[in-house]
Chain A
Amino acid sequence: MAALAEPGPDQGANRGANPGLDRAEARALRARLWRSERRRQLRAFGLVAPLALFLAVVFVLPIVQMLGAAWHDRSVADAMPRTAAAIASWDRDGPPSEEVYAAIAADLIAGRQTRALALPAQRLNQELTGFRTVIFGTARALPDLGADAPPEGWRDTLTGIDDRWADTAHLVVLQRAARPWTSYYMLHALDMERGLDDRIARQPPDERLFVQLALRTLGIAATVTVVCAVMGFPLAYLLATVSGGVRAVLLVMVLLPFWTSLLVRTAAWIVMLQSEGLVNSALMWTGAIGEPLRLIYNRFGVIAVMSQVLLPFMVLPLYAVMQGISPWYMRAAQSLGAPFATAFRRVYLPQTMPGLAAGTLLVFMLSIGYYITPALVGGRGDQMLSYFIAFYATETANWGLAAALGTMLTGIVAVLFVLYSRVFGTRELSVG
């Protein structure tokens, strides 16, 4: 405050403009101006604060926490604290020391009593199949010795119960999982893994899954975007060039699907595309096909339904831009001798680019996260990232992997959103 009230470098200029204003008066005026500006800002901020707080608590925080599960997992560290402390310093040259095995045995005996082993066993099993049986089998078989070590030592006791306790791969997985921070899920989501030497490499080909899934998701989104652009551009042009009455009718035809619930539209499409549906009946009636085509529960169905659902998001921004383009440019170009096609391509099309870009980005951004439509009208091979995120979180309770895939999806959308708001501002996001 004091710093701003101090006479600045432009003080002289102010004085020149107001010769009657002396130094002290100018300073007081500045201070008052600054205070009132500050009050205005505070009041503005105070009006936004409740919503910002609400969204931070209900929306941002939970998502950040959920996505954090991809990097942070304390299930092993919490349930097996002695193991976590002892195995951290193991250098992987040769077997771990007797203390490490003693810590494992102590944690397993303690966990067996409190039934705390389910979560760490699940976590370890995700990284190395079979680890669950190692944990539970060993925990069951361990003698109830209390603090006394068995005469042959803990290492021989454990490896006697299950020889996988001598296997370096299992021990390395345990050592990594015992740390609270992990890169395992993120690497897994990129079809990569860390070898025993900690070097990052691609997974064996038959285990790779998610890069292809991401490419499929991007591919479906891109196809839907292109289909929407091809259908939306001529329609928007028609909307922008017809006269009032027809335009109102056409606009309602675009807005009605926009307002209709996604579930209603999906149900309607099932009616249209099923094997006894309208499309097949019509095609059979005309004799174009002999038996019903398979139009739904496959890729075609997903693309068709998603395109219809998202088409208004392409048409409306395009229409808004085309409405502002004066028809005189085209007429001028044509009167100067350009054929219609040339005039359209060189004069009209460049002016529609802001609308086309906005619609494209919007449709692509929205389609990439689709879940309901592919789930209802797609086959097994047509599911997108969202489906697998939901699958891993709810069906297999593998929150780490769900969060890693979620980070991937959110990252893509965030980049597109930043791009969109940089280019078009945020107000134009309102369509319809």
Chain B
Amino acid sequence: MMRLPPHASRAQRVGYALYLLFCGLVLLFLVAPLIAIVPLAFNEGSFLTYPLSGVSTRWFEAFFASATWQLSIRNTFVVGVCAAALATVLGTMAALGLARAPFPGSRLLMALILSPMVVPLVITALGMFFLFSRLGLTNSLLGLILAHTALGVPFVVITVSATLQGFDTNLPRAAASLGAGPILAFRRVTLPVIAPGVTVGALFAFATSFDEVVVAIFLVGPAQRTLPRQMFSGIRENLDPTIAAAASFMMLISVLLLLAVELLRRRSARMRGLG
């Protein structure tokens, strides 16, 4: 802690207290809404307001029993897992290639790969709608998977590239000198070392798909609705505690993802001798 010196003046002490108070308010601003919505999912009554009129799990039961919500949970995981898998394969290969840069055009390629992160989602969504409607890929999970792959892939490339920066290139060379072919050396030497980074990338890609709603609004119909897409309709049309239950469920998954990533990061740093 940046402590005050013992000889701090009164004004300094007041200033420091105000500074801590301000930081506390900012943290409250960050976290309070997330904490506030969870108890409302357990509300007995049917309004999203405090005070609670009693505790019940009826809204969770409604959430898990509803056919629409069930379908959206299933769609979310199908799309998220497939998109993350595809993004991880394509992204890891690309990161391995880019690690051998510079080669002609490598900077341009990097900009291309990162562009899905920064192009406004509405532009991406409309562009894909333009293309996919001609290919018959709108209103299909495949179309959404391809779209989410493109949106998640920059995160895979970034995390795997960061892992490879600390990677000792003498390891695969040693494997090669002992007679391993490039594929064997990758599978037995490189991959185990970069695996935590690759997994973090995959989790990021999944989280991107898990959070994505704009493309889902334009690209798919009711049968392919994902959780966020269903939440979007719920917030617009019928704001009841089922939304709070859905939000709590999604937050739980986000917390699990966050924990997994932080654990893997530590492991990755340790494996590369940085921890």
Q: Mark B115-133, 1 if CB is under 8 A from A, else 0.
A: 1111111111111111110
- Judge whether B97 and A278 touch: CB under 8 Å: no
**How big is chain A's contact interface, by range?**
35 or more
B146 to chain A, nearest CB (A): 5
Residue of A nearest to B27 (CB): A253
Docked pose: A71 CA to B36 CA in angstroms:
49
Residue of B nearest to A60 (CB): B112
Task: Tell whether B73 is near chain A: CB-to-CB under 8 Å.
Answer: no
Question: Which parts of B28-49 form the interface with A (CB within 8 Å)?
Answer: 29-34, 36-37, 40, 47-49
User: Which of the segments A76-84, A132-140, A141-149, A238-246 contacts the partner chain?
Assistant: A238-246
- Judge whether B109 and A257 touch: CB under 8 Å: no
- Judge whether B235 and A59 touch: CB under 8 Å: no
- Judge whether A62 and B130 touch: CB under 8 Å: yes
Question: Which of A41, A261, A264, A406 interacts with B122 by CB under 8 Å?
Answer: A406
Question: Which of A340, A369, A430 interacts with B159 by CB under 8 Å?
Answer: A430
- Judge whether A268 and B123 touch: CB under 8 Å: no
Chain B residue contacts of A371, Cβ below 8 A: 120-122, 214
Docked pose: A227 CA to B141 CA in angstroms:
39
Docked pose: A305 CA to B251 CA in angstroms:
17
Task: Tell whether B85 is near chain A: CB-to-CB under 8 Å.
Answer: no
In this complex, the member of A64, A241, A429 whose beta carbon has the largest number of chain B beta carbons within 10 angstroms is A429
In this complex, the member of A58, A66, A270, A376 whose beta carbon has the largest number of chain B beta carbons within 10 angstroms is A58
Task: Tell whether A281 is near chain B: CB-to-CB under 8 Å.
Answer: yes
- Judge whether B120 and A372 touch: CB under 8 Å: no
- Judge whether A272 and B258 touch: CB under 8 Å: no
Question: Which of A40, A64, A246, A409 interacts with B1 by CB under 8 Å?
Answer: A246
Q: Mark B7-33, 1 if CB is under 8 A from A, else 0.
A: 000001000000110110011011111
Task: Tell whether B101 is near chain A: CB-to-CB under 8 Å.
Answer: yes
- Judge whether B114 and A265 touch: CB under 8 Å: no
Question: Which parts of B236-261 form the interface with A (CB within 8 Å)?
Answer: 236, 239, 243-244, 247, 250-251, 254-255, 257-258
Task: Tell whether B161 is near chain A: CB-to-CB under 8 Å.
Answer: yes
- Judge whether A389 and B119 touch: CB under 8 Å: no
Residue of A nearest to B232 (CB): A263
Chain B residue contacts of A47, Cβ below 8 A: 93-94, 96-97, 100
- Judge whether B97 and A45 touch: CB under 8 Å: yes
- Judge whether A376 and B235 touch: CB under 8 Å: yes
A388 to chain B, nearest CB (A): 10
- Judge whether A256 and B258 touch: CB under 8 Å: yes
- Judge whether B93 and A55 touch: CB under 8 Å: no
Number of A-B contacts (CB under 8 A): 269
A64 to chain B, nearest CB (A): 8
Residue count of chain B within 8 Å CB distance of chain A? 94
- Judge whether A52 and B94 touch: CB under 8 Å: yes
Task: Tell whether A87 is near chain B: CB-to-CB under 8 Å.
Answer: no
Residue of B nearest to A369 (CB): B120
User: Which of the segments B53-61, B147-155, B188-196, B267-275 contacts the partner chain?
Assistant: B147-155
In this complex, the member of A246, A261, A281, A371 whose beta carbon has the largest number of chain B beta carbons within 10 angstroms is A261
Docked pose: A271 CA to B127 CA in angstroms:
34
Given A257-B31, A262-B213: A43 touches B100 (CB 8 Å cut-off): yes
Docked pose: A299 CA to B94 CA in angstroms:
42
Question: Which of A235, A272, A278, A372 interacts with B213 by CB under 8 Å?
Answer: A372
Docked pose: A263 CA to B124 CA in angstroms:
19
Task: Tell whether B176 is near chain A: CB-to-CB under 8 Å.
Answer: no
Chain B residue contacts of A427, Cβ below 8 A: 158, 161-162
Docked pose: A105 CA to B214 CA in angstroms:
44
Question: Which parts of A5-42 form the interface with B (CB within 8 Å)?
Answer: 40-41
Task: Tell whether A386 is near chain B: CB-to-CB under 8 Å.
Answer: yes
- Judge whether A267 and B247 touch: CB under 8 Å: yes
Question: Which parts of B192-241 form the interface with A (CB within 8 Å)?
Answer: 207, 210-211, 213-214, 218, 227-228, 231-232, 235-236, 239
Q: Mark B86-112, 1 if CB is under 8 A from A, else 0.
A: 000011011011111101101001111
B71 to chain A, nearest CB (A): 17
Residue of B nearest to A265 (CB): B33
Given A270-B235, A270-B239, A271-B48: A264 touches B93 (CB 8 Å cut-off): no
Residue of B nearest to A242 (CB): B1
Docked pose: A45 CA to B40 CA in angstroms:
53
Task: Tell whether B113 is near chain A: CB-to-CB under 8 Å.
Answer: yes
Chain A residue contacts of B111, Cβ below 8 A: 417, 421, 426
Chain B residue contacts of A223, Cβ below 8 A: none
Task: Tell whether A51 is near chain B: CB-to-CB under 8 Å.
Answer: yes
Docked pose: A365 CA to B118 CA in angstroms:
7
- Judge whether A263 and B235 touch: CB under 8 Å: yes
Question: Which of B27, B147, B231 interacts with A250 by CB under 8 Å?
Answer: B27
Task: Tell whether B2 is near chain A: CB-to-CB under 8 Å.
Answer: yes
B126 to chain A, nearest CB (A): 5
Task: Tell whether A234 is near chain B: CB-to-CB under 8 Å.
Answer: yes
Chain A residue contacts of B247, Cβ below 8 A: 263-264, 267-268
Known: A63-B119, A427-B162. 7 other contacts (CB 8 A): A242-B2, A264-B231, A264-B254, A267-B244, A308-B33, A372-B232, A376-B235
What are 25 A-B interface contacts by the 8 Å CB criterion? A44-B101, A47-B96, A47-B100, A55-B113, A56-B112, A59-B124, A59-B128, A60-B115, A62-B131, A66-B123, A235-B26, A253-B30, A254-B30, A263-B235, A276-B49, A311-B30, A312-B30, A327-B2, A369-B119, A369-B122, A376-B232, A390-B125, A417-B115, A427-B162, A429-B158
